A and B are shown apart, each in its own frame.
Chain A
Amino acid sequence: MSVRRCSLSAQFRDLGTGERFCVDWQPTEKAAGALVLVPPFGEELNKSRRAMACAARAFSANGWHVRLVDAFGTGDSPGDFADATWAQWVADFRAAGADLARQTGLKVAYWAVRSGALLARDAADPDSMLVLWQPLLSGEQQLTQLLRLRIAQEAFSGSGPTQTTKQLRATLERGEPLEIGGYELNPMLVLPMAERGIGAFAAWKGRLVWLEVAPEPVTEPPPATLRALSLLREGGVAIEYDQVLGQPFWMTVEIEGAEGLCQRTLQALGTAFG
Chain B
Amino acid sequence: MNAVSADAIRGILRQTLSLGDRAGNLADDSKLLGALPELDSMAVVSVLTALEQHFGIAFEDDEIDASAFSTLGALRALVASKIGA
Smallest CB-CB separation from B46: which chain A residue?
A251
B72 at interface, CB cutoff 8 A: no
Main secondary structure of the interface of A (DSSP, over half): helix
Scan residues 12-50 of chain B and give those whose CB is less than 8 A from a CB of chain A.
Answer: 14-16, 18, 40-42, 44-46, 48-50
Q: How far is the CB of B72 from chain A (nearest CB, A)?
A: 17
Interface flags, A139-170, vs B, CB<8A=1, else 0: 01100110011001101100000001110000
Size class of the contact patch on chain A: 20 to 34
Interface size in chain B (residues, C-beta < 8 A)? 23
- B58 engages A224 (CB within 8 Å): no
A137 at interface, CB cutoff 8 A: yes
Q: How far is the CB of B46 from chain A (nearest CB, A)?
A: 6
- Which residues of B sit under 8 angstroms from A254, Cβ to Cβ? 18
For the complex of A and B, 3 pairs with smallest distance between CB atoms: A224-B56, A152-B41, A145-B49
Q: What is the interface of chain B, defined by CB distance below 8 A to chain A?
A: 11, 14-16, 18, 40-42, 44-46, 48-50, 52-58, 61, 83
Q: What is the interface of chain A, defined by CB distance below 8 A to chain B?
A: 136-138, 140-141, 144-145, 148-149, 152-153, 155-156, 164-166, 215-216, 222-224, 227-228, 247-248, 251-254
